[in-house]
Amino acid sequence: MKNVRVHPAPTLKGEIQVPGDKSVSHRAVMLSALSEGVSTLRGLLMGEDVLSTIGCFRELGVQVEIFPDRVVVHGVGLKGLRPPQRVLDCGNSGTTMRLMMGILAGQPFESRLTGDASLNRRPMERVAKPLREMGAQIEEFRASETERVVKVTGRPLRGIHYKLPVASAQIKSAVLLAGLYASGETGVEEGTASRDHSERMLRHKGVALEISGGRIRVRSGQSLKAEDLEIPGDISSAAFFLVGGAIGKDSQILLKNVGVNPTRTGILEVLQAMGAPLESLNLREIGGEPVADLRVRSVSLRAARIAGALIPRLIDEIPILCIAAAAAQGTTEVRDAAELRVKETDRIAAMERELGKLGVKARGLPDGIDVAGPATFQAGDFESGTDHRVAMSMAIAATRGPKASRVLDVDCVQTSYPNFFEQLQSLGGKVELES
């Protein structure tokens, strides 16, 4: 495991382009593999999570070529996947495992999926349940808490109408993907809107979906067309520098080509509610996804309440929003976010622990956290808990410290933002890598 030493850098200035959106990148690889023909993907996130998705499809007989400036996927169609010869390794990627379960549920062969110790602790039954209702056979085998294999025995599927028990794009996507193989119509109903990247990309690839009033319906017997795609920048990655710029001193950062899908822009709404001067420039559309350039400047922030329908639209950004809250006047309250307890780590417990080291009063709750500010940030040795979002959040916090801090176990950053520390340095940060 590598550690980094982050020196104070109160002023961050410059222009960067964040890596491709992780959620869109996963779906671009998956749907291109299931398309009829060759697709060229540009701007694809080449982090470990997306590489896990690519590896799984290679094991299923899909040719994927990786070049410095593009990834070329030779689609095999919905019925062209081959039985894997070994267990499919999903690494640390919950998106890979959960969406693959939906795809594999309708295949005429057996597949086995596993992941690293962190992924193998994360719940999969919430995906298995609707897939079993469709006719799939899914079993989970455990040798220990951190050793798990999910066996998916593909069967003829039947369409169902499923009401999501929690707002989850991954459950929704798994059911819709299985619906491409199921007889009749498959419908998903969500009480609170979750990210809609799967629906947008399916439509972009020629699949007819009916979307109305929180209900999404798809019928089997459709094919996906191959096409070239450009992947927008990841707003979850941009969030670190949006906060870094907002809490800095005389900071100004321009983030180019960031995806601003309305199901993901909760981070922008919260920062604006906290008083951050955000600008969205050059709004346009790429591959069915809205994109803009985002500019942020430093300002004195005020506390906010983050709860309800906002949560699914910024669930991954809550760790870095805790850092914004620590710099803000008043107590920021996060509620309705129990899902944070079952992410790569228990993010509520992790942020409560690390904020304490930072000199911030924070109180974890079953479904959220209270963060009191403004705090005078302290230096320290901050633990990632092998969670990429915790690691990057504490690195941004360290730029406001009185002296150098260390962030421990930062290899995990490779899952979503391989050049994070390089870009931090390009904006004026000073980072030293320790082996």
Catalytic residue among 21, 316, 387, 409: 316
Q: Detail the DSSP E strand segments found in 97-184.
A: 110-114, 137-144, 147-153, 161-163
Closest C-alpha among 57, 83, 82, 84 to residue 71: 57
Q: For residue 334, what is the enclosing H or E element?
A: strand 330-334
Per DSSP, what are the bridge partners of residue 148?
A: 142
d(CA 82, CA 59): 8
- Please tell me the distance from the alpha carbon of residue 188 to that of residue 201, in angstroms, as a whole number: 17
Contacting residues for 31 by C-beta, under 8 A, at least 6 apart: 201, 202, 205, 224
What is the chain's alpha carbon radius of gyration, rounded to the nearest angstrom? 21
DSSP 234: P
Residues 86 and 176: their CA atoms lie apart, in Å, by 26
Q: Is 316 a catalytic residue?
A: yes
- The pair of three-digit structure tokens given for residue 31, joined into one six-digit string: 């749907």
* Nearest to 337, CA basis, from 153, 220, 167, 219: 167
Active site residues: 316
